[in-house]
Structure 1
Amino acid sequence: MGAREVRRGDDEADRGTLVTPSAEFPPLGPEERAALSRIGERWRAPRGPDELPVDPTLGRNRPGPTPSRFGRLTPIDMFTVEEPDELVAAEPANLPGSRAGRMLTRLRRVLVGPPLSSSAVLYERMRKVVALPILSSDLLSSIAYGPEAMLAVLVLAGSAALGLSLPLAALLVVLMIAVGLSYRQTIPAYPHGAGSYIVASDNLGTTTGLAAAAGLMLDYVLTVSVSIAAGVHAVTSALPGLAPATVPLGVLAIAVLLAGNLRGVRTAGNIFVLPTYAFVVAVLALLVIGYLRAAGRGFTAVPPPTVPAVEGLGLLVVLRAFASGAVSMTGIEAVSNAIPAFRRTEWRNARTTLSWMVAMLVVLFVGLVGLIHLNGLAPRPGETILSQLGRVTFPVGPWYALLQAATALILLLSANTAFNDFPRLLFFMARNGHAPRRFLHLGDRLSFNNGLVALALAAAVIFAAFGGNTEALIPLFAVGVFLAFTLSQAGMVVHWRRHRDRGWRRRLAINAVGAALSGVVLLTAGIGKFAEGAWVVVIAVPLLVLLARRIQRHYATLHHALALHPPPSAGPAPPPSASGSAPGGAPPGPAGSAEGEELPQEVRHLVVVPVARLNRASLRALAYAASLGQPTLAVHIAPEEAESDRFREQWRAWGDHLRLETIVSPYRAVIGPLAHYLEALHATRPELTLTVIVPEVVLRRRWHRPLHSRAEKRLRGALRALPGVVVTSVPVHPPE
């Protein structure tokens, strides 16, 4: 057993549920592997694999400097050796060749950090003490605006309706515990990642899973927008002079969060640990001091300010207040989505962290609602209710400022939960073909950079569109998250009915209660807040599902077109016949196209060289084409007959070594006639592979590029859509 196999065996147990960079390169299935073997049996290469004019190992056992791309010697080795049959690229070899590119790369490394090796993914995982603040920041920070959202609905029925906050808070606590217990038992049932998308897809079908994923995506984007809006509001409540700069401050905060998360999971965790714990300590201090002051007056509630009623107190108002207060639960699903990010044993550590989160949420939420009631506070424009409570509890000293600072920090950084889970959700969707595959890629710091950037851009656009108004964003908030809650818990009900493990009835009952309560909030939020903006989410969810379906259909079609299929017969293939048909009388490929040829002996060439003028670049392209030993045709586009005749004279002076075809373009177009001519050639003999060799002058300086037409790039774009056409460039590097 080689060293590579030993490493694989040692790492296999540690990888477990871990997301690795290899996920971007899925292996072949059994049928494709069998087809590959049958194709290989018929493969006849023009020369053996070892008959190369260079040493492909680059003298891997030879020490010393390695030449760079521009011929200069560099003191570092671009490759190292870890296996007899493989080279490993050294990290500095990834530096761009241009000076500007190197400067940008170094600046990026200062901001984001140096690249991490793929093997470091085993260690970029979180301990519980770090995972708790990272994954609970969204959940715990929501108590800064969740109670206020509930009271903002109740106050519409007048100040007398504010007394309903206590029974509604009790119902919300029941909902929190039910959903928390539901997710607690979902985690060990799906230890590879128990997100709503996976659970709903597995038990309720792909479409339902995509609906849950759409709800979660909207939830994560709105989490960032709402958290940043609430954080900026906390800042402007303490410093009203900054209110006009709400949108720039919010966009700046999103950019800072993006930069922090691009540094990787572990580094981001170290950055965001302190603010979460500081907020918890600040709120606990607020509750202790506040209840001590209330005890001094015998827990007598202060009457709230008189507020006239603008709506009648009815069931709809109560249900809307309940749904608004339920936004205090957003983020409760974060742990189940991030199971692979925990250290071993992943699901056990995730479940413990979730229990801590729910317990802290219940204590802080109940404590704040009760203290707000005892102090007779009501929502008012220009200042958050938590800020009001802080002023009443800490009338003197620096404590109010510390509370507001901690609140602003946790609200601004609570969006980090979405930055942790949104890219991971896109990864799972992309793995199933329901999202672009670029979201499978791990960046330099082993973070999902594409998902992080997508989240930051979407959240910044929504934040700016709503002007950073928390109240305007919250109605959009509850529908998506409770859609995911409901479908996830309903999926777990089906899961327990299918598996019927020990104690499945009790587990089913817990998940059923969680699904029912979440469904009530979902319907209430969707109906009661439809006119306030929830209609956006109601419309966006099916559109996202449809988009995911279309993406999956595209990938399925592409996979079917590119999948390996066994050749018609397993025996060695004879040379192609004069008619161009494939061996054994079978057509050469799909619709008779040269693109269906998979064996070297099946490929028939025609090399075409567009020549504008006879100079060093075109002669080098002609020489390269002739060296291939295939039929070669030169093509010249002339604007008029006189120029065509003049070029033919030059061609004969050169020696007329290759067949020349001239095309007169009286309207002076070049790319169009050439592309149509090549398309006509291909239509005449579709079994031919047309290799178009284009001379290309490589310009080292960017400011030189506007001085040239860059026709080769336009030609490449025009020919890209033609099947059976290969475009290659012969570069010529003029001196500086």
Structure 2
Amino acid sequence: MLSSIKRFLIGRPLKSAELGEQKLNKTKALAILSSDALSSVAYGPEQILIVLITVSAAAFWYSIPIAIGVLLLLTALILSYRQIIFAYPHGGGAYVVSKENLGINPGLIAGGSLLVDYILTVAVSVSAGTDAITSAFPFLHDYTVVIAIVFVLFITTLNLRGVTESASVLAYPVYLFVVALFILIGVGVYNIVTGQVSPALHTPVGTPVIGISLFLLLKAFASGSSALTGVEAISNAIPNFKDPAPNNAAKTLVAMGTLLAILFSGIVVLAYYYGVQPIGEVTVVSQIAEQTFGRNFMYYFVQGTTALILILAANTGYSAFPLLAVNLAKDKFIPRMFTVRGDRLGYSNGIIILGFASILLILAFEGQTEQLIPLYAVGVFIPFTLSQSGMMVKWIREKPPGWGTKLFINTTGAVISLTVTLMFFLTKFGQVWSILIFLPLIILIFHRIHKHYEAVGDQLRLTTCEPSIPVAGNVIIVPVAGITHVVEFSLNYAKSLNPHQIIAVYVPFEREEEEIFEEKWKKWQPDVRLVTLHSPYRSIIQPLTRFIDTVVHKASESDYQVTVIIPQFIPKKGWHNILHNQSSLMIRAYLLYRRNVIVTTVPYHLKK
């Protein structure tokens, strides 16, 4: 039944040879990898206004020069990540760049930040999309968390079906959103040019504003830079592109940057001319659409496509997180299970972990986008800063043709990214302080995992100086609970191995049981030695393990191997297992961690 449900939700398994069919062309890649960056125009401009409103609505004209600053940073990042794509065509983005040029720890800081950031990407995107829905339908406000979790489950399932299938579904909402915003910006600019928007709604550019400060402007710039989250995703996901992958990835990156610049600047300009103010339960885009079209079809079209792209922007995280996890897992910093492809050739373990973690985050923050965005943004700008710095080191060290221009681009990006990062810490420390705790903790975990894998490798290699253990014979211990077919089957198997000795072990709780069982055993298996271990405290594990330890100690003196054969009957139906106490599983679990003991389970399958 479970298998049928899985096939229905995920689809038939794909052969490894079909991997090439899962690669993305530029059109689908733009939709699946740019949705996060493009969707951020729905809340990036709003973050600028939220800061400026603390002075007064008269300060909104500053959103224009702030937006120009954000566009300059966007240009630097696009040019820089384009260089990263060609310099590191196998993907990995900020993690690989930082690791190879700045060292292991900076690389792990970048990788750890991005892993957390992609979890935040899913949580922020889905929460923001839910906000857009509840702005249009206020009666749904009380169900924000439930709606967000349902969407996460939907996107997780969609990604488990494969990259191309999820891209095919996501392409339509993304391009509909782009069309909707182009129409909104076009009509809005037309209304402004034709004088249909009252000049009284906004303060003229250059008007002096009391209370404005450089610190406040930098804070607004840092908040508005949250619109640039997701720019790095394409450089992480180069392996998902069709050949030539680097060229296709670079063209997709430029296309994304161009669209993001147009949409972001358009929303900022309309918000300024319309005099839109941020309101708790109605988004800035919703207000602009209502003032431009009224509450008609176009308003709901804009809100609907905005909600869709905000929700589906989470897919950028699902595309980039598994590939980044693969790079970290190959370097032995996270579990190797992240390198395993699932039935549909995607890295399903990464997809499932991402979905689960983002749901926990939504529950913890109760779906409040405003609380998540600062942590989300600072988690992006740390890798931005490290990757730009890493590329600076690379150009200085290698000095390829044209390296001066490349160095200037990366230096500009590094300085602005570092400034934004510091502004987040200075202005929103109360919301981002946790990164100073969990990031070092993540790095520590990375190193502990790496240390474990290195230790395992050293012990498993044949070239190690660890001497092989000689085996002169075998002593078999068979724990028995009664005289049954399952015990008989296990003893016959033990005898077939021609061991040096077979010892059956019985653990009675009462003395009367002990005597009765010994009499029966002598008649049933007179050639197999029986040891009874009376247990007045009704424990099977403790007396059994003490006895095994004693046998192991004696056997090791003669180079004998001790094997414990555990009889276990397997019910015909799975649910029957809950009707039995599973003692054999408990014994096995305890003995697996005993040195110099081989544990074997002999299953006896019941027929009814």
Q: Tell whether the 8 Å contact from 1:304 to 1:378 is kept in structure 2 after alignment.
A: no
Q: Distance in 2 between matches of 1:249 and 1:298?
A: 38
Q: 2:119, 2:317 within 8 Å by CA — same for their partners in 1? A: yes
Cα deviation 1:442-496 (Å, max 9, x = unaligned): 1111111111111111111111222222212112121110001000111111111
Distance 2:575 2:16 in 1: 38
Distance 2:484 2:124 in 1: 63
> 1-side partners of 2:522 and 2:362: how far apart?
68
Indicate whether 1:731 and 2:603 are aligned: yes
Q: Which stretch shows the higher mean deviation, 122-131 or 453-462?
A: 453-462
Asked if 1:608 corresponds to 2:477, the answer is yes
Shift of 1:392: 0.9
Is residue 255 from structure 1 mapped to residue 153 from structure 2 by the alignment?
A: yes
Does the CA-based 8 Å contact 1:141-1:411 persist in structure 2? yes
Instruction: Report deviation, 1:502.
Output: 1.2
Deviations 1:404-458 (CA, angstroms, capped at 9, x unpaired): 1111111111111011101111111111111111111111111111111111111
Q: Is the 8 A contact 2:276 2:288 kept in 1?
A: yes
- For residues 562-593 of structure 1, the C-alpha deviation after alignment (integer angstroms, 9 at most, x for no partner) is 222268xxxxxxxxxxxxxxxxxxxxx66xxx
Cα distance per residue 1:157-180 (max 9 Å; x no partner): 111221111111111111000111
Aligned-pair identity in percent equals 40
1:70-81 paired onto structure 2 within 5 Å: none
1:263-274 equivalences under 5 Å are: 263-274=161-172
The letter of the residue matching 2:108 is L
Write the distance in 2 (CA, Å) between the matches of 1:688 and 1:199: 53
When residues 144 and 657 of structure 1 are mapped into structure 2, their CA distance, relative to the original with a 3 A threshold, is same
Q: Which residue of 2 aligns with 1:173?
A: 71
Q: 1:455 to 1:655 in 2, by over 3 A?
A: closer
Aligned to 1:509: 408
Distance 1:398 1:448, change over 3 A: same
Equivalent of 1:277 in 175, 196, 201: 175
Q: Secondary structure at the match of 1:126?
A: coil
Q: Equivalents in 2 of 1:353, 1:603: separation in Å?
A: 66
**Which structure 2 residue ranges, 5 or more long, are not aligned?**
204-208
2:22 counterpart SS class: coil
Aligned to 1:427: 326
TM-score of the aligned structures, taking structure 1 as reference length: 0.79
Q: Which segment is superposed worse, 422-431 or 695-704?
A: 695-704
CA contact (8 A) 1:302 1:375 kept: no
Alignment partner of 1:644 is 2:480: no
* Closer/same/farther in 2, CA of residues 125 and 703 from structure 1, 3 Å limit: closer
Contact 1:275 1:409 in 2 (8 A): yes
In structure 2, distance between residues paired with 1:713 and 1:218: 37
Cα distance in 2, alignment partners of residues 612 and 554 from structure 1: 38
State the superposition RMSD in angstroms: 1.9
CA distance in 2, matches of 1:357, 1:139: 8
Q: Deviations over 1:104-136 (max 9, x none)?
A: 111211111111011111221000011011111
Q: Tell me if structure 2 keeps the 8 A contact 1:261–1:419.
A: yes
Instruction: Provide the residue aligned with 1:162 in structure 2.
Output: 60
**How far, CA to CA, are the matches of 1:201 and 1:701 in structure 2?**
52
Shift of 1:520: 0.6
- Are residue 633 (structure 1) and residue 471 (structure 2) matched? no
- In the other structure, the counterpart of 2:352 is 453
- Cα offset for 1:640? 4.2
1:545 shift after superposition: 1.0
Aligned-pair CA distance for 1:602:
4.1
Look up the match of 2:383: 484
Q: Write the distance in 1 (CA, Å) between the matches of 2:525 and 2:452.
A: 51
Shift in Å at residue 513 of structure 1?
Answer: 1.0
Question: Equivalent of 2:419, from 520, 523, 537?
Answer: 520
Secondary structure of the structure 1 residue equivalent to 2:434:
helix
Residue 251 of structure 2, aligned match among 332, 337, 352: 352
CA offset digits 1:663-722 (Å, max 9, x no partner):
222333222100111022213333432111121111112443233222111110111110
Structure having the higher helix fraction is 2
Q: Distance between the aligned counterparts of 1:249 and 1:455, measured in 2?
A: 18
Query: Pick from 519, 522, 528: which aligns with 1:658?
Result: 528
Partners of 1:701 and 1:297 lie apart in 2 by: 76
Q: Does 1:500 align with 2:399?
A: yes
- Residue of structure 2 equivalent to 1:371: 270
Looking at structure 2, the residues matched to 464 and 304 of structure 1 have their Cα atoms a distance apart, in angstroms, of 39
Seen in structure 2, the aligned counterparts of structure 1 residues 242 and 107 have a Cα distance that, compared at 3 Å, is same
* 1:220 matched to 2:92: no
Match of 2:222 in 1: 323
Q: Which residue of 1 is the match for residue 343 of structure 2? A: 444
Decide whether aligned partners of structure 1 residues 638 and 304 sit closer, same or farther in structure 2, where only a CA change above 3 A counts. Answer: same
CA contact (8 A) 1:226 1:473 kept: yes
Tell me the secondary structure at the aligned position of residue 114 of structure 1: coil
Question: In the alignment, which of 569, 593, 604 is matched to residue 697 of structure 1?
Answer: 569
1:74 matched residue in structure 2? none
| Residues 1:673 and 2:572 aligned together | no
Which secondary structure state, in structure 1, belongs to the residue aligned with residue 24 of structure 2? Answer: coil
Q: 2:332 is paired with a residue of what secondary structure? A: coil
Is contact 1:483–1:519 with CA below 8 Å preserved after alignment? yes
| Alpha-carbon distance change, 395 to 118 in structure 1, aligned in 2, over 3 angstroms | same
Deviation at 1:312, TM superposition (A): 4.1
The separation in 2 between residues aligned to 1:603 and 1:392, in whole angstroms, is 89
Stretches of structure 1 that go unaligned for 5 or more consecutive residues are 1-102, 568-588, 591-595
- 1:604 partner amino acid: G
> Match for 1:624: what amino acid?
Y
Q: Distance in 1 between matches of 2:169 and 2:80?
A: 30
1:618 counterpart (487, 493, 500): 487
> Quick check: 2:99–2:107 contact (8 Å CA) kept in 1?
yes
Q: Contact 2:161 / 2:344 at 8 angstroms: preserved in 1?
A: yes
| Aligned pairs (5 A) from 1:467-616 | 467-531=366-430, 533-565=431-463, 596-597=468-469, 602=471, 604-616=473-485
Shift in Å, 1:226: 1.2
TM-score by length of 2: 0.95
Q: CA deviation at 1:230?
A: 1.2
Partner AA of 2:370 in structure 1 = E
Question: One-letter code of the match for 1:534?
Answer: V
1:120 corresponds to: 18
Q: Tell me, in whole angstroms, the C-alpha distance in 1 between the residues paired with 2:302 and 2:434.
A: 34
Alignment pair present for 1:109 and 2:4: no
1:717 aligned residue (586, 589, 595):
589
Q: Which moved more, 1:387-396 or 1:129-138?
A: 387-396
Partner of 1:708: 580
What letter matches 1:418 in structure 2? G
How far is 1:302 from its partner?
4.0
Give 1:693's aligned amino acid: I
Alignment pair present for 1:245 and 2:143: yes
The partner residue of 1:403 within 295, 302, 327 is 302
Letter of the structure 2 residue corresponding to residue 720 of structure 1: L
Distance, in Å, in 1 between the alignment partners of 2:546 and 2:509 is 16
Secondary structure at 2:507's aligned position in 1? strand
Does the CA contact (< 8 Å) of 2:82 and 2:253 recur in 1?
yes
Q: Which amino acid aligns with 2:572?
A: R
Aligned to 2:206: none
SS of the residue 2:53 aligns to: helix
Which residue identity does 1:634 align to in structure 2?
A
Amino acid at match of 1:623: N
* Distance change in 2, residues 1:663/1:406 (3 Å): same
Instruction: Quote how far apart the aligned CAs of 1:311 are.
Output: 11
SS in 1 for 2:498: coil
Letter in 2 for 1:729: T
Contact 1:214 1:480 in 2 (8 A): no
Instruction: Please tell me the residue identity of whatever aligns with 2:583.
Output: A
Partner residue of 1:131 out of 29, 36, 47: 29
- Are 1:156 and 1:311, in contact at CA under 8 Å, matched by a contact in 2? no
CA–CA separation in structure 2 for the residues paired with 1:208 and 1:440: 22
Q: Report if aligned partners of 1:186, 1:194 keep a CA contact under 8 Å in 2.
A: no
Query: Any idea what SS the aligned residue of 1:511 has?
Result: helix
Structure 1 residue 508 displacement after superposition? 1.5
**CA apart distance, 1:299:** 7.9
SS class of match (2:539): coil
Distance 1:603-1:324 versus aligned 2 partners, 3 A rule:
farther
CA contact 2:202–2:273 (8 Å) conserved in 1: no
Task: Find the residue that maps to 1:660 and give its secondary structure.
Answer: strand
